[in-house]
Amino acid sequence: MDPKLTEVSQFFDRFKAAFVRKDFDTCTKLLSELKVKLTEFRSLPPLFEDTPNAVHELTLARDIYEHAVVLSVKDEDQDAFERDFFQLKPYYTDARNRLPPSPQEYPILGLNLLRLLVQNRIAEFHTELELLSSIALENPCIKHAVELEQSFMEGAYNRVLSARQTVPHETYVYFMDLLAKTVRDEIAGCSEKAYDYLSISDARQMLLFTSDQELLKYSEEEHPEWEIKNGFVYFQKAKETTPCKEIPSLQLINQTLSYARELERIV
Amino acid sequence: MTQDVEMKELQAPSNSITSATPSTFHHLKEIASLIETGAYAREVRRIVRAVRLTMALRRKLKSSVLGAFLNFALTPGSEVHSRLSSYLPKDDEHDMDVDTATSATQTLAKHSLPELEIYCYLLVLIFLIDQKRYNEAKACASASIARLKNLNRRTVDVLASRLYFYYSLGYELTGDLAEIRGNLLALHRIATLRHDELGQETLLNLLLRNYLHYNLYDQAEKLRSKAPRFEAHSNQQFCRYLFYLGKIRTIQLEYTDAKESLLQAARKAPVAALGFRVQCNKWAVIVRLLLGEIPERTVFMQKGMEKALRPYFELTNAVRIGDLELFRSVAEKFSNTFNSDRTHNLIVRLRHNVIRTGLRNISISYSRISLVDVAKKLRLDSANPIADAESIVAKAIRDGAIDATLDHTNGWMVSKETGDIYSTNEPQTAFDTRIAFCLNLHNEAVRALRFPPNSHKEKESAEKRRERQQQEQELAKHIAEEDDDDF
């Protein structure tokens, strides 16, 4: 075996050991060293040279990046997640024919979809979705994310929240928690438009707070226009901001002038 | 030119022996001379015409005719000649021998133009693709591309852009589009450096097609947004570009822009390109549905499209009624079609619109309805339909789809009285967009008008014209008289 390859795999073993110990600081340190070492392999993307150890090297590199992605989730670092995922992606797309499929592929792709959903990057979410085959779409990890997006778009928020109990992979919990916060903001936004008032206990239930205090704090911080009295939350204030009826004179003048100009050109 | 004429006369007898060929071969020679004059006079227009004429001949191309033409246009024994001949099937060896014998002697004097050489490549390539000899076609295309890289003549551009197209088509038919992506990118770079705008246009489309073939929307959009844009040279290429653009935008949820691109592509496409227009219409229908519009019935009744658009028609119907159950059954029934059209993911997105339409219908028909009934009417089947219905209605209210309020304690939805729309600015803005559209249409029409060259010189005064007409009449009379005299 190639000495360089042996060295990297030994390093990677140490990384995995630290990973199991949940010693994430050591992991991060080892990971950056590993990444530097990977640059020396010429069989990796973007070169894809056909070296004798190509399959070994590619598999190892893919393994390392897969761990890197999972590590970034444990670290709760979304930027690192995005970086590592993009480094990992060529191994799933361009190196598909050279390597046996990885068992981690679908969980990680699903994780990425979930991340895009949490960050509200729906266009990218759909772009990624187009890349998946119909077999991939049947995979529970991917399906989970796709169904979440659908429920989210429809407004069936309680379905989004109940999905947290059925996560297909333990790494998903972090993003599901983030999603829960987004959902709460959405519900709050919808409620203030849809209801005239709500009883405090209903509001608490709807916004997923465990105590009334949390609700009061939330409404103070995020929605100071809500009025809370007599055990009810009134949303009236938020609605009274309808624009007063005024003739949009400037706009009208502009339009009329442009008609005049155009007509002059014709006649 | 005189040489050409002579050759045609000499050729005639030898061709009449090899039956059936004379007309096609004759046409090919005419096209060749058209290309020659075009190349010498640097008139791209002539070459465009030559390519168009070739397309009309496409079905009549035969191995023997091509062999004869190669002998005519290229120096026999030269590298190009031998390479191109090797691609042609050898089944009618005998005929070719006759042709070689007769025409070889006559063409020796000709030095072959690069345009003609490229044209020969193009002809052979088209022939090979039509004969489904894809491996030879790929070899031929690659050879021609290698040759093209060394040619920098504006008169070749037109031919080159066609070659690029067939190059990509050959690879697409064998399913290895990914292989040539790097090559196409390199060619696009070369075309940009040479200011070959037609080439850039064609190659950009081929690249977009290449990316979209593998659903690489991200890459396609990045390339598209960074590639230089200019006024379109070829209508066909522009149509394709619009179609790809529409697809990309649809995937990225920019439905309004996507709709515009797709409808424009469908409208601009030539009538003969039925398949292309059907594709455009399919996508346009989905985009309009996603926008919450209902396409008119006439869209689905266009000539030659009824059958292909049938699944989309039923889909539209389901969305229009707002019936989730019907929508689901239609999606299932035509899932094969939707999968092969690769619109399946878009149709999944439509579910949301179906719910919205259903909800709007409910809100219009009832002034007050319990959430239980809403859930029943929408046929929401989940663990907790009432809570679902409540939040769905809440979101619809927030997004402005319906005008209503919710009463949580009683669990019902109260629709508000629909206000008089004429008390708002709505009609005024609608009116404005229509006026703007008409004015814009007029301006575009004026801009698209073409005037014959030198028309401004023709503006002679009425008097002069009368004078000239009188002269002409006199002349005509004279000629007539002379004619009479002869008899």
Q: What value does the mean pLDDT take over residues B390-406?
A: 86
Amino acid at B227: A
Domain boundary among A145, A164, A194: A194
| Residue A239 pLDDT | 52
**What percent of chain B shows pLDDT beyond 70?**
86
Domain boundary among B142, B175, B208: B175
How many residues can be counted in chain B? 487
The answer to whether residue B146 sits within a structural domain is: yes
The answer to whether residue B241 sits within a structural domain is: no
Assess whether B271 and B382 both reside in one domain: no
Cα within 13 Å of Cα(B212), Cβ side:
23
Q: Tell me if the bond preceding A100 is cis, omega within 30° of 0.
A: no
Assess whether B42 and B91 both reside in one domain: yes
Q: What value does the mean pLDDT take over residues B213-240?
A: 89
Smallest CA–CA distance from B216 into chain A, residue = A131
Cα separation, B197 vs B161, in Å, equals: 10
Assess whether B312 and B376 both reside in one domain: no
**Between B108 and B176, where is the model more confident?**
B176
Could you give the C-alpha distances from A163 to A126, A132, A167, B393, in angstroms and in order? 20, 22, 7, 20
* Highest mean pLDDT out of A63-72, A193-202, B106-115, B448-457: A63-72
Assess whether B156 and B142 both reside in one domain: yes
Smallest CA–CA distance from B445 into chain A, residue = A266
Assess whether A117 and A188 both reside in one domain: yes
Cα separation, A26 vs A125, in Å, equals: 33
| Residue A237 pLDDT | 57
Q: Nearest-CA distance from A254 to chain B in Å?
A: 11
Q: What value does the mean pLDDT take over residues B129-137?
A: 88
Whether residue B53 has pLDDT greater than 90: no
The answer to whether residue B25 sits within a structural domain is: yes
Mean per-residue pLDDT of chain B: 82
Confidence grade of residue B287 (pLDDT, cut at 50, 70, 90): very high
Assess whether B356 and B370 both reside in one domain: no
Assess whether A228 and A154 both reside in one domain: no
Q: What value does the mean pLDDT take over residues A145-156?
A: 86
Confirm whether the ipTM is greater than 0.95. no
| Residue B226 pLDDT | 92
**Residues 6 or more apart from B86 whose CB is under 8 A from it?**
none
The answer to whether residue B402 sits within a structural domain is: yes
Whether residue A76 has pLDDT greater than 80: yes
Assess whether A74 and A155 both reside in one domain: yes
> Residues in chain A whose beta carbon is closer than 8 A to a beta carbon of chain B?
122-124, 126-127, 129-131, 134, 146, 150, 153-159, 162, 186-187, 189-191, 193-196, 198-199, 202, 248, 252, 255, 259, 262, 265-266
Assess whether B79 and B139 both reside in one domain: yes
The answer to whether residue B425 sits within a structural domain is: no
Assess whether A158 and A247 both reside in one domain: no
Range of the domain at B80: 1-175
Domain boundary among A164, A194, A224: A194
* Residue of B217, B254, B388 with shortest CB distance to A158: B388
Domain boundary among A177, A194, A211: A194
Q: What is the DSSP string of B99-142?
A: HHHHHHHHHTTPPPPHHHHHHHHHHHHHHHHHTT-HHHHHHHHH
Domain boundary among B125, B156, B175: B175
Which residues of B are less than 8 Å from A159 in CB distance?
Answer: 382, 388
Smallest CA–CA distance from B214 into chain A, residue = A131
| Residue B311 pLDDT | 93
Assess whether B53 and B32 both reside in one domain: yes
Assess whether B310 and B382 both reside in one domain: no
Assess whether B412 and B320 both reside in one domain: no
Assess whether A162 and A218 both reside in one domain: no
Whether residue B286 has pLDDT greater than 90: yes
Whether residue B199 has pLDDT greater than 50: yes
* Highest mean pLDDT out of A3-7, A166-170, B305-309: B305-309
Question: In this structure, what CATH number is given to the domain that contains residue B409?
Answer: 1.10.10.10
* Residue of A130, A202, A265 with shortest CB distance to B408: A202
Assess whether A85 and A135 both reside in one domain: yes
**Between B462 and B151, where is the model more confident?**
B151
Question: In this structure, what CATH number is given to the domain that contains residue A162?
Answer: 1.25.40.990
The answer to whether residue B228 sits within a structural domain is: no
Q: Is residue A4 within 8 Å of A41, Cβ to Cβ?
A: yes
Q: What is the pLDDT of residues A6-60, one digit of tens each?
A: 888 888 888 888 888 888 888 888 888 888 888 888 778 777 777 788 888 888 8
| Residue B99 pLDDT | 44
**Among the listed residues B205, B216, B286, B296, the one whose alpha carbon sits nearest the alpha carbon of residue B248:** B216
Cα separation, B396 vs B203, in Å, equals: 44
Q: Is residue A118 within 8 Å of A81, Cβ to Cβ?
A: no
Range of the domain at A244: 195-267
The answer to whether residue B273 sits within a structural domain is: yes
Residue B412, strand partner residues: B370, B407
Assess whether A128 and A27 both reside in one domain: yes
Domain count, chain B: 3
Whether residue B130 has pLDDT greater than 70: yes
| Residue B16 pLDDT | 38
Assess whether A25 and A115 both reside in one domain: yes
| Residue B220 pLDDT | 93
Residue A234, strand partner residues: A197, A227
Residue B140: alpha-carbon gap to chain centroid? 25
How many residue pairs from chains A and B have C-beta atoms closer than 8 A? 96
The answer to whether residue B479 sits within a structural domain is: no
Assess whether A32 and A97 both reside in one domain: yes
In chain B the first and final C-alpha atoms are separated, in Å, by: 37
Assess whether A177 and A205 both reside in one domain: no
Question: Across the interface, do A190 and B344 touch by the CB < 8 Å criterion?
Answer: no
Domain boundary among B126, B143, B175: B175
Assess whether B9 and B101 both reside in one domain: yes
| Residue B313 pLDDT | 93
Domain count, chain A: 2
Q: Nearest-CA distance from B48 to chain A in Å?
A: 36
Assess whether A152 and A240 both reside in one domain: no
Amino acid at A230: N
**Among the listed residues A122, A154, A79, the one whose alpha carbon sits nearest the alpha carbon of residue B356:** A154
Q: What is the pLDDT of residues B78-125, one digit of tens each?
A: 788 888 888 887 654 444 444 444 444 444 345 568 888 888 889 889
**Residues 6 or more apart from A57 whose CB is under 8 A from it?**
A5, A41, A43, A44, A51
Assess whether B308 and B400 both reside in one domain: no
Q: What is the pLDDT of residues B311-355, one digit of tens each?
A: 999 999 998 888 888 999 999 999 999 988 888 888 988 888 888
**Residues 6 or more apart from B164 whose CB is under 8 A from it?**
B145, B184, B187, B199, B202, B203, B206
Assess whether A224 and A156 both reside in one domain: no
Assess whether B298 and B384 both reside in one domain: no
Question: Across the interface, do A190 and B397 touch by the CB < 8 Å criterion?
Answer: yes
Q: What value does the mean pLDDT take over residues B120-148?
A: 89
